[in-house]
Amino acid sequence: MPIATVNPANGETLKTYEAMGEEEIERRLQLAEATFRTYRTTAFDERARLLNKAAGLLDEDQQEIGRVMTTEMGKPVKQARAEAAKCAKAMRWYAEHAAELLADEEPAESDVKDSGATRVRVRYRPLGPVLAVMPWNFPLWQVIRFAAPALMAGNVGLLKHASNVPQTALYLEDLFHRAGFPEGCFQTLLVGSGAVDDILRDERVRAATLTGSEPAGRAVASTAGEMIKKTVLELGGSDPFVVMPSADIDRAARVAVTARVQNNGQSCIAAKRFIVHTDVHDAFAERFVEGMRALKVGDPMQEDTEVGPLSSERGRSDLEELVDDARRGGASVLCGGARPDWPGWYYPPTVLAGITREMRIHREEAFGPVATLYRAGDLDEAVLIANDSPFGLSSNVWTRDEKEVDRFVRDIEAGSVFFNGMTASHPAFPFGGVKRSGYGRELSGHGIREFCNITTVWHGA
């Protein structure tokens, strides 16, 4: 895949870039290692000052970088600006809280005495250069939620971004440079996916994080396992959105529309499978389909556009194949289901009903504005359908019954359970999944500690 900006709204190639050669990659690896030796000794106050400066610059750049993101991957420009604002918020959160999150821990005095020590501490020390292999769908947020905690912990970052968002990738390196971070603290590697394996095998790279597809996660995890290197993986998702009879059906249906089509439906944590109790199924379905049908699809640079194009022609073709397979298997198309006849890689908001386990879309992630609708006879069946997926990233449940809340928390196989609201990420809360959605956690104290050497410091008499 070429490293290029291709506008998904019209298919026009705007900029192309040469991949970095072996000499440039080596220079950057040397710089990362050298920078880490000194940057790891900086105080939290200094790191926070730099990160707050980067957040301020990002706020100033919000309009410009928003348009760049929209041009490169097609999200509505209002959502792109909101993504930039969210990144600045996360930077400030980590600047404020990192010292507390990574403070030395003191075990219980009785355990210290029992060990024969006079004092024991647990200290969090940085690991070194961390390779981040990042996707195009949230081209700023996916990177910042790694970079902010990693830099505050004293690590340095090496970014291999998706090849279709090179301008965003270069912007990120420039952002940290303008903020005053030492050269080498955060570097963008303009390379194709074929270069990742060799970079990860380099001894100077101490760990890796990847957000992306399941095949990409398998490849990185395999190499990292062979090299005995820590990894965090955030892979696909096919999140359930369960609606029980006690829910506010009108509000659930409104939120369901947003939950499905956020980021043009290209989000791992977008709700994709809508599992509705039979008592309220028809009422919910009517409102949901009406809301999906009413969305404005069009030029993502227009302020009133709600759904823009998919990021690539291949992405649209993959989505069409899932819909066509379901249709051949007997699924009903309640709205959408056919590409519009205009330039760009658009696909309409679509709702499918009558899904069976034999259909590909039941097991595979639909990365675009396509929802599948299921009918559940009771809570037990709702849980069975929700868990009948290889993925387990997040989940949404709509109920006012506290006993049902307890059951869903106990039984849903996912990294998050959101009640009466849409899944969202926040810097204070851990984020990640189970099953084929990956392992490890981003954000919160859990995320900042993922790439730390958790060190026991023992003092004798």
Q: So which residues are the catalytic ones?
A: 234, 268
Instruction: Decide if 232 contacts 442 (C-beta within 8 A).
Output: yes
Grouping H, G, I as helix, E, B as strand and the rest as coil, residue 454 is: strand
Q: What angle do CA 58, 442, 46 make, to 5 degrees?
A: 50
Instruction: Decide if 235 contacts 158 (C-beta within 8 A).
Output: no
The DSSP call for residue 5 is: E
d(C-alpha 207, C-alpha 148), whole Å: 16
Instruction: Decide if 146 contacts 448 (C-beta within 8 A).
Output: no
Residue 52 backbone phi and psi in degrees, to 5: -65, -35
d(C-alpha 326, C-alpha 328), whole Å: 5
**Cβ density class 161-176: b for 16+ within 10 Å, e for less:** bbbbbbbbbbbbbebb
d(C-alpha 26, C-alpha 34), whole Å: 12
d(C-alpha 254, C-alpha 259), whole Å: 9
Instruction: Decide if 19 contacts 123 (C-beta within 8 A).
Output: no
Closest CA to 277 of 387, 355, 390, 380: 380
Q: Could you tell me where the beta strands, DSSP code E, fall in 26-75?
A: none
Q: 3-state DSSP: the chain helix, strand, coil percent, rounded to 5? A: 45, 20, 35
What six digits make up the tokens of 297? Answer: 């699809």
Closest CA to 294 of 336, 323, 252: 336
In Å, what is the CA distance from 194 to each residue of 1, 56, 197?
A: 10, 35, 7
